[in-house]
Amino acid sequence: MDLVAGADNIIVTMTHASKSGESKLLSRYSLPLTGKGCIKKVLTDLAWLEIDDSAFILKERAPGVSVEEIQQKTQGTLIIPEYVPEMVFA
């Protein structure tokens, strides 16, 4: 069963990297995918990203996390705007 069939806005929440430090945000996947191309947004323990044209666009970073750390832990194409705000939790 495809859980994302017909959904317009899929948001994935996950850790940015594996326990060994390897990126989970990849440019290519080795396992079969269901719902390919339907994910638009990703929230990780490090950042808020949007996906466009197979690239991750950095929108916000978690408190205390640098853009450089996110860049190091992202294997896929990462687009970094001039200003990336830190997330604020009220």
- Choose among 78, 75, 3, 79: nearest CA to 38: 3
* The token pair that represents 62 in the structure block: 């978690």
Whether 86 is in a domain gets the answer no
Q: Is 68 helix (H, G, I), strand (E, B) or coil?
A: helix
The number of distinct structural domains making up the chain is 1
Residue 54 has pLDDT above 80, yes or no: yes
Q: Is the pLDDT of residue 69 over 70?
A: yes
Q: Where does the pLDDT of residue 88 fall: very low under 50, low under 70, confident under 90, or very high at 90 and above?
A: very high
What would the pLDDT profile of 6-53 be if each residue is shown by its tens digit? 777 888 999 999 999 999 998 877 777 766 777 889 999 999 999 998
Tell me whether residue 21 is in a domain.
yes
What per-residue confidence (pLDDT) applies to 2?
65
Say which residue, 86 or 11, is predicted with more confidence: 86
Domain that holds residue 40: 10-79
